Amino acid sequence: MGATATPRPAELAVAASGGRDSTALLHATLRAARPLGVRVHALHVHHGLHPQADTWQRQVRTQCRRWGAIFHATRLSGAPAPAESVEAWARRERYAALATMARAAGCDIVLLAHHRRDQAETVLLQLLRGGGARGLAAMPADAKRGGLRWLRPWRDQPREAIEAYLRQHRLRWVDDPGNDDGRYARNRLQQVVWPALTDAFPQAEAALAQAAARAAEEAAALREFVAQDAAACADGDALRVAAWRALSPARQALLLRHQVEVWSGRGVPGTLVRRLQAELPGAASGQWPAPGGRLVLRKGRLSYQRDPSGPGQHSD
């Protein structure tokens, strides 16, 4: 008889910045995974934005060696595009780096350490950016993107529970001084708005998280609804304007936003949607600037032409 092949152990990745929340999550994941024979990979992204970043990377590597996690690190290169915020650039590049490391490690699942206060803060930031149901849904607990599952197991847990876990296990973490930089919107929210809000409304965190859950349900229903309109109005890779005009104004706006996002892989400004609603019905032909390219109306069909200067970036 031939030798029986030993099954390869399951692989699981944790995004590990070295901060408070990800340190707790990495530790808890290792404790739960070890009895199950699951190998845990710690994915660390060096943003190159702070002088202490090398020290943080060494600390995470040392923790991984001591705790039994497999350490991976990537240093970001490049810089934000013109008019792009450092926050948006770092977030996009961080998720891309995490995905690359997870695939290289053979991991299908990446755990993220966001908690309930992060969720509540995201709802407020989306409100201030004029976000709709999808934006107000904030961060999903389970998302599939780029062939990976991104899980947030502590999304509905209060920050205080994580702090209690850190104290119980006497864990050390790094404090990013960038979290005190008032140039960044989330930092201003945490430092100025959040204390005043929770002082006046102690249940704000739980209420905002509940609002996000309801918004997620409504966003999912809207996606199903707009997919039906998209199928009814489609003409190959184009949109039949006559069929689109037969929809109500609200459905017209939803379909335009959906279709341009599908074409471009980018978010769609509300100003573009309103302009198209105003100008498309009376136009026989025309062109409109759009994210990453342009929209072209010809013979009753609205189509998208990508800018040859570069591909669109999918938003997370």
* pLDDT, tens digit, 9 for 90 and up, residues 151-165: 999 999 999 999 999
Could you tell me if 126 and 196 lie in one domain?
A: yes
Summarize pLDDT for 10-56 with one digit per residue, the tens.
999 999 999 999 999 999 999 999 999 999 999 999 998 888 899 99
CATH value at residue 267: 3.30.465.60
Contact 112, 15 (CB under 8 A): yes
Cα–Cα distance between 274 and 249 in angstroms, integer?
Answer: 10
Q: How many domains are there within the chain?
A: 2
- The DSSP annotation for 18-37 comes to SSHHHHHHHHHHHHHHGGGT
The C-alpha atoms of residue 114 and residue 155 are separated, in whole angstroms, by: 5
Closest CA to 72 of 38, 100, 32: 100
Q: Of 245, 247, 277, 283, nearest to 260 (Cα)? A: 277
* Angle, CA of 31, 28 and 167, to the nearest 5°: 115
The confidence score (pLDDT) of residue 48 equals 86
Does residue 315 belong to any structural domain of this protein? no
Q: Are residues 198 and 301 in the same domain?
A: no
Whether residue 15 is found in the same domain as residue 161: yes
The residue-averaged pLDDT of 79-91 equals: 83
Task: Identify whether residues 26 and 125 lie together within a single domain.
Answer: yes
Average pLDDT, integer, range 7-12: 73
| pLDDT reading at 178 higher than 90 | no
User: Mutual orientation of helices 204-233 and 116-128 as an angle, nearest 10°?
Assistant: 60
- Whether the predicted pLDDT of 316 surpasses 60: no
Assigned domain for 210 exists: no
Whether 218 is covered by a domain: the verdict is no
pLDDT of residue 5: 54
Q: Is residue 3 part of a domain?
A: no
Same domain membership, residue 282 and residue 199: no
Percent of the chain scoring above 70 in pLDDT = 95
30 and 70 belong to one structural domain: yes
Say if 47 falls within a structural domain. yes
- Residue ranges for the known binding site are 17-22
Give the strand order in the sheet containing 293-298: 234-235, 238-240, 301-306, 293-298, 286-290
Residue scoring higher pLDDT (250 or 81): 250
Same domain, 146 and 42: yes
Among 156, 189, 205, residue at a domain's last position: 205
Task: Read off the pTM.
Answer: 0.85
Task: Give the end-to-end CA distance of the chain in Å, rounded to a whole number.
Answer: 51
- d(CA 15, CA 97) in angstroms, rounded, equals 10
pLDDT per residue as tens digits for the range 92-148: 999 999 999 999 999 999 999 999 999 999 999 999 989 999 999 999 999 999 999
15 and 57 both lie in a single domain: yes
User: Under a CB-based contact definition with an 8 Å cutoff, are residues 76 and 90 in contact?
Assistant: yes
- Chain position carrying tokens 């707009």: 226
pLDDT score at 26: 98
Cα 83 to Cα 76, 79, 87: the distances in Å are 19, 11, 12
What is the model's pLDDT at position 78? 84
**What CATH number does the domain containing 29 carry?**
3.40.50.620
Q: What is the mean pLDDT of residues 214-231?
A: 96
* pLDDT score of 180: 77
Binding residues for ATP: 17-22
pLDDT at residue 315 is higher than 50 = no
Asked whether residue 215 is domain-assigned, the answer is: no
Domain boundary residue, one of 186, 205, 224: 205
Tell me the average pLDDT across 285-306: 95
Interval 254-262 mean pLDDT: 95
Residues 268 and 195 in one domain: no
Last residue of a domain, one of 184, 205, 226: 205
Residues 301, 285: Cα–Cα separation, whole Å: 9
158 with 92, same domain: the answer is: yes
Q: Provide the residue range defining the domain that includes 282.
A: 236-306
Enter the tokens of residue 191: 């430092």
Q: Are residues 170 and 240 in the same domain?
A: no
Whole-number mean pLDDT of the chain?
92
Residues 51 and 169 in one domain: yes
